[in-house]
Amino acid sequence: MIAALRRFASRHHVLFGIWEAIGMGLQGIRAYKMRAFLTILGVVMGIMTVTGMSSIVAGLNASMARQIATLGSSTIYIRPFRIGEHPSDEDLRKVKGVTLDETKLIGARPAVKAISPIQVIFAESVKYGTERVRDVQLFGTTETFLEVHDSYVARGRFLSRLDVSRASKVVVLGQDIVDALFPYVDPLEKVITIDGRRFTVIGVVEAKGKFLGQSMDNWMLIPVNSLVKKNQRFNFMVADLIPISPAHIDQAVDQTRETMRRYRKLKYLQKDNFAIFGQDTLTEIYRQITGGIYLVMIAISSIGLLVGGVGVMNIMLVSVTERTREIGIRKALGATKRDILWQFLTEAMTLTAVGGVVGIAIGGVAALLINTLSPFPAVVQPAWVTIAFATAVAVGLSFGLWPAAKAAGLDPIEALRYE
């Protein structure tokens, strides 16, 4: 293969010159290994950072997309504030939860297929016999919860409309709760206590896994208002809904906003005292986070590439001085300034290209190890590998210009006299 390329290059003057310059660059690396390594170390570090961090970010993006998909492709969320907002203490005091009347009105709108009120209840202790769990997510909801969240019951049954209308003392468990309270027995028809109140287990929801590192199976679902605490701060309600089809998401959002503004008697110029958003908001927030990671990656890699570029410029200036007589001989034999310029530029780019290849290899191995040995996913991105290699070559081109121009501008007679 190499012999064929050499024969092809020998038939074209420009290609032969480039091939010869690349060979000289590689020969210089072989002859002065330590010097070459120290020269391109900055380039290696910069390219390694780009390859490794882009792989981690790409893996996290793919993981995030999968996790958001598990929430339901068309789910719309009604919350007091948008994700990422930082309300003041005054805003927190004025915040209003969603009411059951509002959910009924929203559910009757033509673009809304189903809506699920979710009553957030703070449970201090959940027990069955001698087993106990804490920090459980307890939600009061209705029979529409499964439809809205695209879930199903793995065992038993779910909450019925009759359970909700009667506020029955029944509960559906997530898989984490089952594992904690019923490690060796069937949980169905067993009675557990939630803050001292008895609830009968009627079903177990399918396992959902994790979302952003948090378990989605550490929850319990009871009929809305079946466990009401005196302090209303512990009975806060939100709601999730789905449109009649993905094409009607915008209509469902508009109708929901209109219904809530009318119900809350908000004037035209008053801003919403609630937030309505979908998966696109979650995705956008995550992209902003990863965008910051990319900025950090670019900053770190830029420092390494700058150091590497200065090292390449320094070594090429030394090379021009060491090879002054060689340059004079080449000019005496007919080499033009352009030939000398491209010779030294190609050698500089060869140096940084080798550094780029080494950096890509190290970054790729690091990404593979991270993906295998850590909880963080990492996927090497061909696009970023290409960008990294092109950047390495561009560093050689940029920082090799001055030494190459200095070599090309040498007077041949003075160069031949140089000792």
127-160 as b/e, with b when 16 or more CB fall inside 10 Å? ebeeeebeebbbbbbbbbbbbbbebeeebbebbe
Confidence of residue 258 (pLDDT cuts 50, 70, 90): very high
Query: Are residues 113 and 248 in contact, defined by beta-carbon separation less than 8 angstroms?
Result: no
pLDDT digits over 303-335, tens only?
A: 878 888 888 888 878 777 777 787 788 778 777
CA atoms of 73 and 76, how far apart (whole Å): 9
Q: How far is CA 191 from the centre of its chain?
A: 42
180-202 as b/e, with b when 16 or more CB fall inside 10 Å? bbbeeeebbebebebeeeebebb
Which of residues 18 and 217 earns the better pLDDT score? 217
Confidence of residue 417 (pLDDT cuts 50, 70, 90): low
Q: What is the 3-state secondary structure (H, E, C) of 145-172?
A: HHHHCCCCEEEECCCCHHHHHHCCCEEE
Q: Residue 273 burial (CB < 10 Å; 0-12/13-18/19+)?
A: middle
pLDDT at 199: 93
Taking 70 as the threshold, does the pLDDT of residue 30 lie above it?
Answer: no
Taking 80 as the threshold, does the pLDDT of residue 415 lie above it?
Answer: no
Closest listed residue to residue 301, CA positions, set 398, 384, 402: 384
Q: Give the chain's mean pLDDT.
A: 79
Closest listed residue to residue 304, CA positions, set 28, 3, 49, 37: 49
Q: How many helices (H) and strands (E) are present in the chain, helices listed first?
A: 15, 14
Distance, first Cα to last Cα, the chain: 40
CA atoms of 33 and 317, how far apart (whole Å): 18
> Please, which residues bridge with residue 201 across strands?
171
- Six-digit token pair at 225? 């208002």
Task: Say how many C-beta atoms besides its own lie within 10 A of residue 208's C-beta.
Answer: 19
Taking 70 as the threshold, does the pLDDT of residue 1 lie above it?
Answer: no
Q: Residue 84 burial (CB < 10 Å; 0-12/13-18/19+)?
A: exposed
Q: Which helix (H) or strand (E) holds 242?
A: strand 235-243
Query: Are residues 222 and 164 in contact, defined by beta-carbon separation less than 8 angstroms?
Result: no
Query: Are residues 74 and 387 in contact, defined by beta-carbon separation less than 8 angstroms?
Result: no
Taking 70 as the threshold, does the pLDDT of residue 283 lie above it?
Answer: no
Closest listed residue to residue 220, CA positions, set 176, 155, 162, 166: 176
Q: How far is CA 159 from the centre of its chain?
A: 36
Percent of the residues in the chain that have a pLDDT greater than 90, as a whole number: 14
Q: Roughly what angle, to the nearest 10 degrees, separates helices 401-408 and 337-373? A: 160
pLDDT at 163: 92
> Please, which residues bridge with residue 276 across strands?
78
Q: Roughly what angle, to the nearest 10 degrees, separates helices 13-31 and 337-373? A: 60
Taking 70 as the threshold, does the pLDDT of residue 285 lie above it?
Answer: no
DSSP classification of residue 227: S
Mean pLDDT, rounded, for 349-374:
85
pLDDT digits over 103-141, tens only?
A: 999 999 999 999 999 988 888 888 888 888 877 888 999
Mean pLDDT, rounded, for 367-382:
81
Mean pLDDT, rounded, for 155-165:
91
Query: Are residues 45 and 357 in contact, defined by beta-carbon separation less than 8 angstroms?
Result: no
Q: How far is CA 246 from the centre of its chain?
A: 25
SS3 220: strand
Mean pLDDT, rounded, for 206-222:
75
SS3 43: helix
Taking 70 as the threshold, does the pLDDT of residue 84 lie above it?
Answer: no
pLDDT at 159: 92
Closest listed residue to residue 74, CA positions, set 120, 101, 117, 114: 114
Taking only Cα atoms into account, the Rg of the chain, rounded to an integer number of angstroms, comes to: 33
